[in-house]
Amino acid sequence: MGSRFFEAESTEEGDYVFRIHRPKMFDDETRGHLMDAQKHALQAARSVFDAMISAMEKRDDANPGRRQNIDIE
């Protein structure tokens, strides 16, 4: 990893990956800002997942699927 504190890469699938390392050379205030940025990124990801779940639930409610009769002897 060396002394780099920021990394960016592209995966074979076409995704972008960004990494921010918290080096010891930063003061407490800067580290606090970096931690806040990480928290906001996680909150944004949670928001995306919530929206995806809502869209799936709406789709399932609109198209409940085929019902089957099951004969019980």
Bridge pairing between strands 16-20 and 6-10:
antiparallel
Q: How confident is the model at residue 6 (pLDDT cuts 50, 70, 90)?
A: confident
Residues with Cβ within 8 Å of residue 19, at least 6 apart in sequence: 6, 7, 8
For the chain, the domains span: 6-61
pLDDT digits (tens, 9 = 90+) for 22-49: 667 778 898 888 889 888 988 998 999 9
Which residue matches tokens 């928001």?
47
Q: Quote the CA–CA distance of 62 and 71 in Å, as a whole number.
A: 27
Q: How confident is the model at residue 1 (pLDDT cuts 50, 70, 90)?
A: very low
The H or E element spanning position 48 is: helix 28-62
Q: How confident is the model at residue 17 (pLDDT cuts 50, 70, 90)?
A: confident
In the predicted structure, residue 61 carries a pLDDT above the cut 70: yes
